[in-house]
Structure formats: structure tokens, C-alpha cells
Amino acid sequence: MEPNKKHVIDSEGYREYLGMAAAVFDWKSWARPEQLMPEGDWHIWFIKAGRGWGKTRTGAEAIRSLQAFGYGRFHLVGRTSADVRDTMIEGESGLLSISPPENRPVWKPSTRKLVWPNGAVATTFSAEEPDSLRGPQCEAYWADELASWKYPDAWDQLQFGARLSGKVRGIVTTTPRPTQLIKTLMQRDDVVVTHGTTFENEANLSPSAVAALKAQYLGTRLGRQELEGHILDNNPGALWKRETLDRSRVAQVPKGVELTRVIVGVDPSTTATGDECGIVTVGCGSDGLIYVLDDSSVQGAPIVWAKRAVSAYLAHDGDEIVYEANQGGEMVAQTLMTVATVPLRRVFASKNKRARAEPISMLYEQGRVRHVGNFYNLEDELCEWEPAQGVSPNRLDALVWAVTWAHHEYRPRTKARVYK
């Protein structure tokens, strides 16, 4: 019986196929020079680059190289658990995709571990849960999008656990923001810094997308940060300064402080297609300070942001939701009330945006506002918006309304909310 010709393997063609397959996983043969691990006695390789530069692929390949060099215990830390899974592990440039079949690790979601054939293990962590990093140890780690981590303590706990190897190696990949942690890392002698721009990787990006990004953002402050990978200084025309926000940051509401009033500020989007809706939760502390507790802003149709606003109200045991009624009017209240019956306060913008925002920025300057964690998108808006621009960002507006009413109207609660 003759063999089915469809299943006959041509040996020469198969060898060519194997060679091509091997080349796909030969990172050194086609990576750009700046994507290869630096030589020398460094402790941290810090990669700050624009969107699309290839940070994820570079970070994953660095971990693959360290595993090949004999490192056996890794920590993988991302902004959220979903980011670790979807980007660092299962993404198109993640560890599963870039590993050759013979050395591809097995992902075990129930234990949050990647296990290589030789027994090497990488454990995953979310930067939103710093305490989960207390105790576990590693020889090397990959910290992705460090500039967007909400709690700086997550970085500290990661450092305390990186102590197993004779030579611990850390890989940091991030689009930069001017946080104190990022600035400090760049000044350390044991840190090698690699800087890159989106346009260095144009060959692997959509030409139309690159052209659109250049047309819209090239030459702007946002473009310098997100595309060119630069750490920006303060915008001289903005009401808020980075240093002020850094000084206002705390890890949690202090023990024993009662939040006497909690307000969810909403700057609604009224379009059916769903522009971004600002949703910011703040609390008035018994110590006389205002605590920014959460930024739940979301893009979506009215029912989407209404559900998010009500969720924030319930999660933080709120007193009321304050919303701007200049746009949307009764539609805003009706949409919120379809989700749940909650106390609402309708406010109208009778003053211009500068007049509303300046008193709030002064509270920050006076040290009367605290940010419980990092709220990078909100803080970027605060530090980039200039009153002369006219239109103000959604998160900023939501914050201004929430702080205004939390600070303006003090009403003792019948049920104390004390942090222990």
C-alpha cells in the first residue's frame, strides 16, 4: 500500500523548516542591539521607552536568557494581575510566545506560577497587592510598567525578596513618568538605563498607525513622554506640580482617622459612543485632611460609567455622588438611579474652570490633601492641564467637584468609618 503523499515529509524541506523555526527563537540574530542584555556587573536593567518600542519582548527575552544561564527562581510583577497574565505571560510578546517548544514553560494559573522543563519557576504578583510580595524570595525579577504602579511599597517589598542569588538581576520595563521612584532609579550606580522611542521599532508597527501618532502627538508634551520615552519636567502653566503630588502621597488612610464624609465626584459623558467619564472618590478625614481614595474613571456609554460610579460609592461606603449637570442634566440622574438608589447632588458650573480648580490646587499646596496610592492618569491630567486651554480633563473635573463638596460641607456621620 502506497503511503498518502500528503503525509510524506521531504527531509530537505523539513530541515529548512526546522532552521526557520529555530531562527524565530534566536533573539540575538534579529533583536536591535539596545534590546540585548547589557554586559557588566549591573543590578538592574532599567528600560524606559515609548509605546511600541518592544519593551515586553525585551523583558521576556531577558528572563528567558537568565533562565538559560541557570537562574531558577523569578518574580514577575505587573501593574495588575490581568496585566501580568495578558501581557507578560500570554501576550504575543510574552514568555509563552517567545519560548521555543523544547523549553517552553507551563503556565499554572491556580498557583500563579510558570514552570520550565528544568524546574525553574517564575511566580506572578500584582503591584496592587504589595503585601503578597512579603516573604517570597527570588534570584531575579521582571517589573513591568513600574511607573504606573499604584503603591510604591510594592517595589520595596520586591527588593526585600530579591536575595537568593549570588548576583540578583532585575529587569524593569516601563513607559516613563516623572515619579520619585523612577528619578531615583536613574541616578543609581548599579542601574543600567536604556532609553528608546516608538519610532525605533517602526519596521514592526503599522505604518498607518505610526503616521497617525506622528501627526497627532509628535512635538507635544504627551508625545515626548509616551512616544519618545522622556521624563517630563513640570508644565510651567499648570496649577499642580509633580513635587506637590509626591509630597501628598500616603500608602493608606492613617490608623485611627475617621472619614467623616465620602464623596464620589462624576464628570459625566453624555455621548452614546462613550467618551471618558471622570469618577473620583475622596474622603474628608477627622484630622482635617482630604484623602483621594480612588480614580474609577472609565470610557463607555452612560450605563457603563453609571455602574462604575455606583460601584465606587458602594465600595467606599459613600455619602453621596456629586455630578455636574451642565451637560446631560436629568439624564445623568436617571441613568445613575437605574443602577441603584443612591444619594445624588446635582451641581452646576457657574464659574470658569480656573476659578473652580485654583482653590483645590491651593489645598494641595497647603498640604491639606493626601493621595492614597498613585493615581497616574489623574495626576498626569492635573500636572498637564493649563487653565488657558479652556477645556479641562474629565478626571480633573471629577476631582475638583468631589474635593469641593467634601471640604465645603462637613456633616458628621452617624456611623463612624475608622481605619485601624
Q: In angstroms, rounded to a whole number, what is the distance separating the alpha carbons of residues 126 and 83?
A: 8
**Identical fold, 13-226 and 242-408:** no
Give the angle subtended at the CA of 367 by the CAs of 145 and 418, to the nearest 5°: 80
Q: How many CB atoms lie within 10 A of CB 48?
A: 24
Q: How many angstroms separate the CA atoms of 251 and 69, rounded? A: 37
Cβ distance 328 to 270 under 8 Å?
yes
| Confidence (pLDDT) at 274 | 64
CATH 3.40.190.10 fits 242-408, yes or no: no
Model pLDDT, residue 1: 37
Dihedral sign, CA of 210, 214, 216, 222?
positive
Contact (CB, 8 A) for 403 and 290: yes
Distance (Å, whole) CA 47 – CA 182 = 11
What is the rounded CA–CA span in Å between residue 407 and residue 401? Answer: 10
Residue 9 has what pLDDT? 42
Predicted pLDDT of residue 12: 56
CB contact at 8 A, 79 and 127: yes
- So what's the pLDDT on residue 8? 42
Residue 361's Cα: distance from chain center in Å? 24
Q: Would the CA dihedral through 33, 37, 42, 45 be positive or negative?
A: positive
Phi and psi dihedrals of 64, rounded to 5?
A: -60, -40
**Among 104, 94, 167, which Cα is nearest to 124's?**
94
Can you tell me the distance from the alpha carbon of 235 to that of 11, in angstroms, rounded to the nearest whole number?
Answer: 64
What are the Cα distances from residue 233, in Å, to 4, 50, 225, 236, 360? 68, 17, 10, 9, 22
What class does CATH assign to 13-226? Answer: alpha beta
Tell me phi and psi for residue 177, to 5 degrees: -135, 155
E strand segments, 314-384? 320-324, 344-347, 369-372
pLDDT, block means (10 residues), the chain with 420 residues: 42 49 77 93 95 95 94 96 96 95 95 96 96 95 94 94 91 90 91 94 91 86 85 83 90 93 90 81 95 94 93 95 79 90 85 84 94 90 82 87 80 46
Cell 534570584 belongs to residue: 139
Domain ranges of the chain: 13-226, 242-408
Coil vs helix vs strand at 411: coil
User: Residue 268 is placed in which grid cell?
Assistant: 459625566
User: What is the structure's pLDDT at 376?
Assistant: 85
Concatenated DSSP letters for 89-152?
Answer: ISSTTSHHHHS-GGGPPEEETTTTEEE-TTS-EEEEEETT-GGGGSS--BSEEEEESGGG-S-T
Strands 276-285 and 298-299, bridge-based pairing = antiparallel
